[in-house]
Structure 1
Amino acid sequence: MRFLDEALAAGTLWRAGVVPRDPRALAAGSRAVARLGPFGGLPAFGAAAHPERVALVDDRGQLTFAEFARRTHRLAHALRSRLPAPQPGIGILCRNHADAVVALCAASAAGARVVLLNSDFGPRQVAQVAARERLDALVYDEEFTTAASGFDGPRWCAWTEDVRAESSLATLMSGESAALPARPPRPPALVVLTSGTSGLPKGAPRSQAPSLLVPAGLLTKIPLRGGERVLLSAPVFHGWGLIVATLTLTLGSTLVLHRRFDAGRVLADLQRQRCSALVAVPTMLRRLVALGDAVAAADLSALRIVASGGARLDGALVAQVAEALGPVLHNLYGSTEASYISIATPEDLAVAPDCAGIPPRGTVVRIADDDGASAPVGAEGRILVHTPGQIDAYTDGTRRSDSDGFLDTGDRGHLDAAGRLYVAGRSDAMIVSGGENVFPEEVEMALLAHPEVADAAVTPVPDAEFGHRLRAYLVRADSPAGRDALDEQAVRRYLAAELPRSRMPREIVFVARLSRGSTGKLTRHTLDELQKEHG
């Protein structure tokens, strides 16, 4: 069965355009990947097939695949000559730009153990992760200088106003050879950090030679194709952004990157660059459709895919995207530990706007009741998965998988008769109210559907009498109705018509804004500050 799955996956990759049709380009690209691994060999793979095609576009300009390869190889030679063998640890703390991708590929080509750091980190988190993951060097953006100070070792700036500075990547690679590097002493490794909002993120080691089912499964649900342009707003350091970035470049397509998300600029570049796909997180899509008439007036005739991932997508936003952009929305559900788990296509979302889609070939989803037995169709339970891209263990040796290989996602949900997955919320965020399981995310999704709510967060807070209660933090929309008419009683009347009484928050607090991280999730710092201010 596994052989059949891999054969079918190979066919999917061929049809999508992953495999160069020129035998000489295929041979040269394949040799580079065999020597340097999928990430390290990726630039040479693209350069062999289409050297003059644009690979990367960012805030500074663009790189062709040939330029991408030469820049990557120079940096790989520089890193290998300056860092300890056989396998240095290199952290990357960057926003979305070309040299962030160059650094990832170059460090891999140098045989490093690459650790992708969250751009929301402060110096203490950088220091803790650097110690735990045994980092020998750090590549960072100049704006993260304070955070990077938590690492005591060689540091180089990837994005700096002074590219000639001694600490810049440009200076580091100056004068180095652009030739394909030699095979490293050890195969490269990659660690992606978990994206939870509390505690120090764990390290999830990703395979540098994954099953063909990983890229093929995504392509069967989100039909990216070769030679197109993809605007990636989701952060590259996160699993969702990473898989799209590497798959786009492997397809020979152009990856368009912005260091910071700005809905107006995204709309402009979707038109100017004639992008066929936008890849984002739900918060970004919410800001895009909020542009209203500007979206309606834009020429988005090339846009055939809008893909959301990294956080839960609510049904109201699904409807808003469909109205503004047409039937182009795809919704990916996954985790750092499992890679992606299920993907909802536009057809799925038309029937069930709140679903997370159907698992692709090679992925198995099981719903387990509280005793561990498989739950029947429609019954809620723990979401257990077995995917081709899941990790065996965290870098600290701890595991989330059962003895049968199924990984507990930490979420609860159910499957319908058509095999579509529905996610209720995090198991550890669930509270019991009136004998019913209540998930803060369910209330949050209902609040976000209100036209005068710009943002919302619902959290469980300790309660002396009931153990826990729900508190809702709301940001009013910047409109007369939002500013003047949306008060606590209006919110309660709205929720009473949408949800059972047990879901009603005990407290509703209006705030000016909710600070979210790069993946659109509320940070632990934000939640702590709200809790401190409002008790």
Structure 2
Amino acid sequence: MYGLITTFVRARLLTVLRPDKYVRILSVIRREGMSATTGFAIAAVRCPQRPGLIDELGALTWRQLDQRCDAFAAAVQAQGGGPPKTIGIMARNHRGFVEALVAANRVGANVLLCNTSFAGPALAEVVNRERVDTVVYDEEFTPTVDRALAERPDARRIIAWTDDPDSHQVTVEKMIAAHRGQRPWPPMRTGKLILLTSGTTGTPKGARHSGGGLRDVEAILNRTPWRAEETNVVAAPMFHAWGFGQLVLSAMMACTVVTRRKFDPEVTLDLIDRYRATGLAVVPMMFDRIMELPDDVRTRYSGRSLRFAATSGSRMRPDVVIAFMDQFGDVIYNNYNATEAGMIATATPADLRAAPDTAGRPAEGTEIRILDSDFTELAPGEVGGIYVRNSTQFDGYTSGATKDFHQGFMSSGDVGYLDEAGLLFVVGRDDEMIVSGGENVYPIEVERVLATHPAVDEVSVIGVDDERYGQHLVAFVVLAESATASSDVLKQHVRDALANYKVPREITVLAELPRSSTGKILRAELQARVSTADSG
């Protein structure tokens, strides 16, 4: 307990307040419980006049944001048909997303966070599986929502963002205006948060969470230099577990959240300097886009206020990690998370300087084991399944399924190894490893070699079925601007570094790799390209 208090004091999360504020904070906790969104109401008590959220529409203080969340919650309860049981949110980063999220908790509804990249069939499958009865969405996604709800005419629809304020549709803004000054009545139940897995190789699964505890927050604050009542630019999508976590932790710390609906690398740098942000939350692809800006554009912005630039969600390019820190300082913190397990490991700037591709060291309160197929613990440097034991594990998939466990350790679904210094390295997904001619091959190993070729900007390698060898590798590359390289040249580059059985059978040049909103490469789409080519 002493360590927990020390951590919270260092981060200024625990500080001296007026006695009446302590009383009101306790009242908030009694009313809302310690849910993921309780921090929004606490921030409104702690520093009501401090900006809580800044988006394209301007700034809202913590008090204003809290009152708007109350008004929207009251409006939702006033709708006919009884209180919603599950609210699906399909919105970009803006106040409407936040208000829907917080209000859902205040009415006791489950919350399903939907990927803004969903097509109609994928969204239909998810909302039907999770029994969504209310959808809050940005107007731009209307065709997708209409298609998904074609057989659900009873589902309530609420527009979170519209570019037409005079629209006759039901919107979050209109509902707030109609119920301004009202508060929701206490709910009869406590809702759950449903986060979707990435779904890069199949249909996303719903992972049900009851919410983390103070130890989870301690683990983050011990490794990343957060400070209460500062400013964070949250560019990572808030519907994803990583962006969501950065949003709710910012609220808990009463940190101003600066965000924009769509990521723009130069705008992000401008927001950091303009608001003197000390924190930045991104996905790795956003570092790539920032460093792809022309030198004369990047150097207009100092980023001097940044204390940390935290990232998670996919693999980082080692060259980009070093280049970003060379320009903006040693501020990158790489977090290895899983929707099912929460935070697993964090790499500090010092770790990344030593090994830019590391996932870091186990988070506070987390144990990591590397196990083989017989659940034997492997020695440093040996590759096996990554198994995790911590307090942030999920409650199970909404389908009733769960992950594989061994002696209390949950499979992360990834394979990797620990080095002699205790640093974790993720080699790839356990379902990405292929067996080619009896040899185990990890696509990421080949990706790393191809990425070192000067003509290659981005690369993804997948395994496909092979009648003779069982499986073989296929590579997809995006070439650097004005660069040229033949398939034979790239294959020889791999052959010079790796065994012959690791050389891709085919290498295809693409204009861009298919990616999700969080920057993860959609391998299912690449597999479909191969299947289509084979059938042709």
Shorter-normalised TM-score: what interval?
over 0.9
Q: Choose which of 329, 351, 354 in structure 2 pairs with 1:351.
A: 354
Output the CA distance in 1 between the equivalents of 2:514 and 2:379.
39
Q: Could you list the per-position Cα deviations for residues 87-138 of structure 1 after superposition, in whole angstroms to 9, with x for gaps in the alignment?
A: 6110001111121011101111111111111111122222221121111100
Q: Percent identity?
A: 36
CA distance in structure 1 between the aligned counterparts of 2:133 and 2:90, rounded to whole angstroms: 14
> Partner residue of 1:13?
8
CA deviation profile, 1:150-173 (whole Å, cap 9, x unmatched): 122111010111234332111222
Change (3 A) 1:241 1:223: same
Match of 1:360 in 2: 363
Amino acid at match of 1:48: V
Q: How far apart, in 1, do the equivalents of 2:424 and 2:405 lie?
A: 21
Distance 1:394 1:516 in 2: 24
Aligned 8 A contact 2:437 2:471 in 1: no
Q: Which residue of 1 aligns with 2:28?
A: 32
The equivalent residue for 2:86 is 89
How big is each residue's C-alpha offset from its partner over 1:169-195, in whole Å with a ceiling of 9 and x where there is no partner?
Answer: 112222214355343111221110111
**Distance (Å, rounded) in 2 between the aligned partners of 1:175 and 1:352:** 55
- Native 8 Å contact 2:310 2:335 kept in 1: yes
Deviation at 1:327, TM superposition (A): 1.4
Q: Distance in 1 between matches of 2:32 and 2:73?
A: 10
* Number of residue pairs the alignment of both structures matches: 525
Match of 1:249 among 248, 251, 268: 251
Amino acid at match of 1:154: R
Contact kept? 1:229, 1:275, Cα under 8 Å: yes
Q: How far did residue 523 of structure 1 move?
A: 2.8
- Matches of 2:511 and 2:367, distance apart in 1: 42
Aligned 8 A contact 2:304 2:328 in 1:
no
* Match of residue 412, structure 1, among 412, 415, 438: 415
Residue of structure 1 in register with 2:435 after alignment: 432
Correspondent of 2:67 among 47, 67, 70: 70
Q: Is the 8 A contact 1:13 1:19 kept in 2?
A: yes
2:519 aligns with 520
Q: Which amino acid aligns with 1:388?
A: S
Ranges in structure 1 where 5+ consecutive residues have no aligned partner:
none
CA offset at residue 528 of structure 1? 4.8
8 Å Cα contact 1:10/1:212 also seen in 2? no
- Sort the Cα spacing of 1:520 and 1:57 in 2 relative to 1 into closer, same or farther, 3 A: same
Residue 468 (structure 2) pairs with residue 486 (structure 1):
no
CA contact (8 A) 2:68 2:180 kept: no
Contact 1:189 1:205 in 2 (8 A): yes
Given residue 234 of structure 2, which amino acid in structure 1 is its aligned partner? L
Q: CA deviation at 1:329?
A: 1.2
**489-498 or 419-428, larger mean C-alpha shift:** 489-498
In structure 2, stretches of 5+ residues that fail to align are: none
1:151-190 matches, cutoff 5 A? 151=149, 152=152, 153-164=155-166, 165-190=168-193
Name the amino acid aligned to 2:321. V
* Partner in structure 2 of residue 101 of structure 1: 98
1:469–1:524 CA distance, 2 compared to 1 (3 A): closer
Aligned-residue offset at 1:379: 1.6
Q: Single out whichever of 63-72 and 295-304 deviates more from structure 2.
A: 295-304
Shift of 1:435: 4.4
Q: Deviations over 1:404-449 (max 9, x none)?
A: 3211111111112222111111111101235442111222233334
Give the alignment's TM-score, normalised by structure 2. 0.93
1:146 aligned to 2:149? no
Q: CA deviation at 1:533?
A: 5.0
CA positional deviation for 1:357: 0.5
Match of residue 502 from structure 1: 501
Match of 1:461 in 2: 464
Residue 196 of structure 2, aligned match among 184, 193, 197 = 193
Superposition deviation, residue 280 in structure 1: 1.1
**SS class of match (1:428):** coil
- 1:87 and 1:523 map into 2 onto residues whose CA distance is 33
CA distance in 2, matches of 1:249, 1:435: 52
Give the aligned partner of residue 223 of structure 2: 221
Bigger shift: 388-397 or 434-443? 434-443
* CA distance in 2: counterparts of 1:137 and 1:330, whole angstroms: 37
Q: 1:34 to 1:402 in 2, by over 3 A?
A: same
Indicate the SS of the match to 1:244.
Answer: helix
Report the 3-state secondary structure (helix = DSSP H, G, I; strand = E; otherwise coil) of the residue aligned with 1:445: helix
Paired residue for 1:266? 268
Against the structure 1 CA distance between its residues 87 and 455, is the aligned structure 2 distance closer, same or farther, given a 3 Å change threshold? same
What is the letter of the counterpart of residue 166 of structure 1?
A: Q
Query: What displacement does 1:317 show?
Result: 2.5
> Which shifted more, 221-230 or 138-147?
221-230
Tell me, in whole angstroms, the C-alpha distance in 1 between the residues paired with 2:137 and 2:143.
Answer: 11
Q: Quick one: distance in 2 between partners of 1:263 and 1:159?
A: 22
Looking at structure 2, the residues matched to 239 and 53 of structure 1 have their Cα atoms a distance apart, in angstroms, of: 26
Between 1:183-192 and 1:524-533, the stretch displaced more is 524-533
Alignment of 1:185-334 (within 5 A): 185-208=188-211, 210-293=212-295, 294-334=297-337
Contact 2:232-2:281 within 8 A present in 1 as well: yes
Structure 1 residues 42 and 304: alpha-carbon distance in aligned structure 2, compared to 1, 3 A threshold:
closer
Provide the aligned C-alpha RMSD in A.
Answer: 2.0
Q: Is the 8 A contact 2:110 2:191 kept in 1?
A: yes
Amino acid at match of 1:243: G
Give the partner amino acid of 2:489: A
Structure-1-length-normalised TM-score:
0.93
- Which string of whole-angstrom CA distances, capped at 9 and with x for unpartnered residues, describes residues 292-350 of structure 1? 41223422111221112001223222222222322111111111000111000011112
Amino acid at match of 2:8: L
> Do residues 374 (structure 1) and 377 (structure 2) align?
yes
